[in-house]
Structure 1
Amino acid sequence: MPYAKAKDGTMLYYKDWGRGHPIVLMHGWPLTGDTWDDAAVRLGEEGHRLIIPDRRGFGRSDQPWDGYDYDTFSDDVAAILEDAGISEPVGIVGFSMGGGEVARFVSRQGKGRVSHAALISSVVPHVVQSDFNPDGVPQEQLDAITAELKKDRAGFMTTFLKQFYGVGFMTSSVSDEVVENSHRQAMMAGARPTLAAAQAWATTDFRPDLPAFEGIPTLIIHGTADKNVPIDATGRVAAKLIPHADFLEYDGSPHGVFETDKERLINDLLEFFGTGRAAEADQRSAIPLNETTL
């Protein structure tokens, strides 16, 4: 699989699957692009080209000391698209902290770069509690996450991922192996990227980015039982601030809907993006007869 070079020389790993209308799939914290594999296969089968990065500092990408801010993350996406030779407007989907990349990419790169935008269990518009966001996560709770990460990152991730997937004492919507695989992905990241990226998603205010969504088909999906990124602070607020967006609440679902609600999420994404095969057929029909290979 290819690597793209960011502006600062950081090497960014990404998967390039399928053919057709390009869709970028941005993963959440603290995981990798592998979380999108099942959805990417289905979207690819329906005629889309999937670009699936590992964010800088995570997965198979380089782990530089700097660059864990959303302007840089957005520029990294642009560098990957350039490396992949994609100049046409793309669909872009962001899960959790990846939703911030969607918002910043739309506002920083321009509407002409985006055909569709989707925010899944997203941190947009703002996570931390404030006067504007009374339902946000209290700062002391975010500070406690930082302290636990510094004390025992591996142990913190075990507890965090159980909440992430809604795993309880007697019930679980995913297998133990799913949790173990997510833990493996989380520990691929460096300690510095893990901490710095958490600071970015916890504190960045994306409200100034949202007017740029005007005219772009937008989908928002959020679980009502999301304890990691509460829906009242994010998904429901984003739906009010992006009034033309389609907003789907997954009743009773936790944060990690790409596993707990896999089939539903994939079907909703397929309905939102449609099939890329029609566009491919149009391209084939436009080829002059004397250039057609039989």
Structure 2
Amino acid sequence: MVEQNIDTPAAPAKAEVGPASDPGRRPAQGARSKPRPAPGPFVEARDGAHLFRRDWGAGQPVLFLSGWALTGEMWAYQMLDLVDQGLRCVAYDRRGHGRSSDPGRGYEYDTLADDLAAVLEQLDLREVTLVGHSMSGGEIARYLSRHGAGRIARAVFLAPTTPMLLRAADNPDGLDPLLIDQVRAAMRADYPRWLDDNAPPFFVADTSPAMREWVKHQMLQCSMKALIDCNRASVEADFRDDLRRITVPTLVLHGDRDASAPLALTGARTAALIPDSRLVVYEGAPHGLFITHRERVSRDLVAFARS
């Protein structure tokens, strides 16, 4: 496999246009002076939603955020590997996903970033390595721009959908809005069938049928409200300004056969916008590289968490 390393790159000129914001973006509320302890396996979000979390091992903390429609279980293999290396691993299910509550609201990035803040505060995690896949790269970027890096030591973007997916005047290479509407219509009509139809490019040819079913099972645990709203948020958000404001060392891992988040549109531009970043390209890797290249992902995470 081939690595392409980009250290402290300059942002592309065309990405410099316009401030980044979600519609209705609001300032963050002040953090609690004394974090409340998380009750059992759940963390309570600021609006009362309950977020299911897994918390394994001891040592320096690594906090995992799941991709669109996936749960914290997606990180099981990486968490086992990192726990074996003496790290503490925490993962939680996004609201409306897996075992977390489904409030039917809060699927825009400001609230999702506040959910991440609640997990960090209630578990009192510090010197954290944040790891996010796909749409959760936006949660990391929005958390850091909204809440600051006081608890965060470093960040990893795995196959991110940042900085901006949708086509616009200042993002001419983005996705066609009409195509996105067609995709959402297909999901609303028959989501299980949509998953089956779109599974092949997420994996590689030798990914076992059982592993594919395991991933599909997780994605079927996402509520339709969360599914559609999170898709809309991840496609329509603009994180260019958020990414420029990240101050912690950042690693971007991305496959050059990613059909869901093409490298040139997402991972390469994400690394170019973050001041202290490094891009590592996995040759032949698809969007599901946490499965298809799981041993290499684990090695890179361990090395970076200890850097």
Instruction: Return the TM-score normalized by structure 1.
Output: 0.88
Alignment partner, residue 169 of structure 2:
131
Alignment partner, residue 288 of structure 1:
none
Alignment partner, residue 128 of structure 2:
90
Q: Does 1:165 align with 2:203?
A: yes
Match of 1:148 among 169, 186, 198: 186
Alignment partner, residue 66 of structure 2:
27
Residue type matched to 2:96 in 1?
Answer: G
Runs of 5+ consecutive residues of structure 2 not aligned to the other structure: 1-39
Match of 1:251 among 277, 283, 295: 283
Alignment partner, residue 48 of structure 1:
87
Distance in 1, matches of 2:74 and 2:167, equals 28
**Structure 2 matches for 1:207-246, cutoff 5 A?**
207-214=240-247, 216-246=248-278
Contact 1:106 1:113 in 2 (8 A): no
Contact 1:224 1:250 in 2 (8 A): yes
Distance in 2, matches of 1:161 and 1:4, equals 32
Runs of 5+ consecutive residues of structure 1 not aligned to the other structure: 167-171, 276-294
Alignment partner, residue 63 of structure 1:
102
Residue type matched to 1:234 in 2?
Answer: T
**Structure 2 matches for 1:112-123, cutoff 5 A?**
112-123=150-161
Alignment partner, residue 169 of structure 1:
none
Contact 1:161 1:182 in 2 (8 A): no
Q: CA deviation at 1:140?
A: 1.6
Q: Does 1:262 align with 2:301?
A: no
Q: CA deviation at 1:14?
A: 0.6
Distance in 2, matches of 1:228 and 1:210, equals 20
Q: Does 1:178 align with 2:191?
A: no
Q: CA deviation at 1:127?
A: 1.3
Of Structure 1 and Structure 2, which has the larger fraction of its residues in helix? 1
Q: Render the CA deviation track for 1:119-174: whole Å, top value 9, x for unaligned.
A: 000011111122333332221221111100110011111122222114xxxxx131
Q: Secondary structure of the equivalent of 1:112?
A: coil
Residue type matched to 2:146 in 1?
Answer: R
Instruction: Return the TM-score normalized by structure 2.
Output: 0.84
Contact 2:60 2:87 in 1 (8 A): yes
Distance in 2, matches of 1:112 and 1:15, equals 23
Give identity over the alignment, percent. 36
Residue type matched to 1:15 in 2?
Answer: R
Match of 1:193 among 202, 222, 226: 226
Distance in 2, matches of 1:21 and 1:109, equals 21
Q: Does 1:271 align with 2:271?
A: no
Contact 1:36 1:52 in 2 (8 A): yes
Distance in 1, matches of 2:63 and 2:171, equals 29
Q: CA deviation at 1:243?
A: 4.0
Contact 2:63 2:91 in 1 (8 A): yes
Contact 2:58 2:86 in 1 (8 A): yes
Q: RMSD over aligned Cα, in angstroms? A: 1.4
Q: CA deviation at 1:263?
A: 0.9
Residue type matched to 1:179 in 2?
Answer: R
Alignment partner, residue 285 of structure 1:
none
Distance in 2, matches of 1:184 and 1:34, equals 11
